[in-house]
Amino acid sequence: MSRESSLIKNSVVLAVGTFFPKFVAIITLPLLTGYLTQEEYGYYDLISTLVSLLLPVATLQIQSAAFRFLIDCRGNKEKSSSIVNNIFIVTIPITLIVLVAVFIGFGGISAANRIAVCIYYFVDIIYLTLQQISRGLSYNKAYSIATCIVSILNLILLAVLILGLHSGLFGVLLSLIIPNEIACIFLMWWIRNDVEIDLKKYASVKQIKAMLAYSWPMVPNNLSNWVLSASDRLVITAVLGVEANAVYAVAGKIPNLLATLQGTFTLAWQENASISANDADAAEYYSNMFATLSRFLCSALGCLIAATPIIFKVLISGDYSEAYYQMPILFIGILFSCLAAFLGGIYVAKKNITSVGVTTVCAAGINLLIDIIFIKKIGIYAGSISTLVAYFALMIFRMIDTKNRFGLSYKTKEFTLLIAYVTIVSAICFQKNLIGNIVNCAIAFPMFFALNKDIVVQIYLKFVARKK
């Protein structure tokens, strides 16, 4: 199977596990915004944000090492078992210690909610680790099924606990904990024949050192990623209040659909890029994939922006009209984020984690600085603008570095025109008028097919071939 075919196959399989949860999240958004108070929704978003901060600290990002190391020893049960057991030897003790800080840190909510947050955090750590293990063992199908299980159960429990029992924030937390626990059991069952769990037998200081040597530089990288994605909301909460954070959080829901699309591809791309890292034509392959991805993402984003006025009216309940005007800015910022993430996959493939960390730290500093300086002057616009500028800087940093370090080349003129196109469509969307919306739709959808005609034709031919 060719590199491109393998990439497409893995992307399709992982797409199920990526898009379905996001689709369910879209369905649950009216439920959360309509039946939780703005204060409760603000706390819910804050809890999710802080959990994502603590994850790399508690695990030292060793689950990322699991994915990369397991790729190199697929089919070898002894080596795979050693990697998996030593991951848990590192992860579990540190996680239990961090839980104490979590319980103390959420002093503003009830004791029951704080306990629920701690349980959610612990279970989420185990679940995310098992996901990476499954991917490393090539069980992308199990990864996707597990995420679907979590999403379906989350939706059912939300309906029962929020609509039926009116349990508020506590009910939301329970709807996260229970599905994750079931998914953990499912993944452990799926990998049972490939991995033997025996912490005493497989404990290896040498193995732990090797994995930590790879993973620990990713801690500042992921903390910086957290700053890029979450510091806006913390600064907004601290300066403008929980209600303002709720508005900003809602503003990011639709733009993040593009990040979801890219996230699906990134999961498959990291594996594909790692396998191709030592090929003679690796630089050419990476460069061509960047050009193809740029065309696809920019054209797909154009369609998403064109549909935003309708999507916003359908999905967003409550008093969140201010959120609409943040979206055109966030759309462009998320685009830059997606392209930077693609380049980040190349660093993972080349095992050059230090370099990816440096670029992310610089971008995070830019993001936080803009937030602090402008939040009191322009309100939540500071959050969306800082996101755009920081991710643009991150993308440019990585484009320059990968060109110099790995020999990648970029079609600068074509790329500039694509960014200009997305900027124009976003500016029209910002005006929020009927004629502009019609113009966007008239341009965006034909543009998508024009820029991706080869991909569309290939998919069509494969579909026709299957029918025959």
**Tens of pLDDT, residue by residue, the chain (468 residues):** 455 556 666 656 665 666 667 677 777 777 777 677 777 777 777 777 776 666 766 677 777 777 777 877 777 777 778 888 888 888 888 777 777 767 766 666 677 777 887 888 888 888 888 888 888 787 878 888 888 888 888 888 887 877 777 777 788 888 888 888 899 999 988 888 888 787 878 777 887 887 887 777 777 777 777 777 777 877 888 888 877 888 888 888 778 777 777 777 777 777 777 777 777 788 888 898 899 889 988 888 888 888 888 877 777 766 677 787 888 888 889 899 889 988 988 887 777 777 777 888 888 889 989 988 888 888 888 888 998 999 999 999 999 999 998 888 898 899 999 999 888 888 887 777 777 778 778 888 888 888 877 766 666 565 555 555
200 and 236, same domain (yes or no): no
315 and 416, same domain (yes or no): yes
Of 138, 168, 160, which Cα lies nearest the Cα of 38?
168
150 and 239, same domain (yes or no): no
CA 446 to chain centre: 28
175 and 239, same domain (yes or no): no
* Per-residue pLDDT reduced to its tens digit, 387-424: 899 999 999 999 999 999 888 889 889 999 999 988 88
Tokens of 68: 């990369």
152 and 20, same domain (yes or no): yes
354 and 429, same domain (yes or no): yes
126 and 73, same domain (yes or no): yes
221, part of any domain: no
163 and 271, same domain (yes or no): no
d(CA 115, CA 102): 9
345, part of any domain: yes
* Per-residue pLDDT reduced to its tens digit, 322-372: 787 888 888 889 899 889 988 988 887 777 777 777 888 888 889 989 988
Tokens of 464: 């026709």
* Sign, CA torsion 96/99/101/103: negative
Identify the domain containing residue 152 by its residue range. Answer: 1-216
Determine contact, residues 294/418, Cβ cutoff 8 Å.
yes
246 and 323, same domain (yes or no): yes
d(CA 436, CA 18): 32
399, part of any domain: yes
Stated length of the chain: 468
8-state DSSP, 279: S
54, part of any domain: yes
d(CA 311, CA 294): 24
172, part of any domain: yes
58 and 182, same domain (yes or no): yes
The number of domains in the chain is 2
- 79 Cβ partners below 8 Å, 6+ apart? 73
pTM listed for this prediction: 0.70
417 and 299, same domain (yes or no): yes
8-state DSSP, 463: H
What confidence score (pLDDT) does residue 336 get? 92
296 and 411, same domain (yes or no): yes
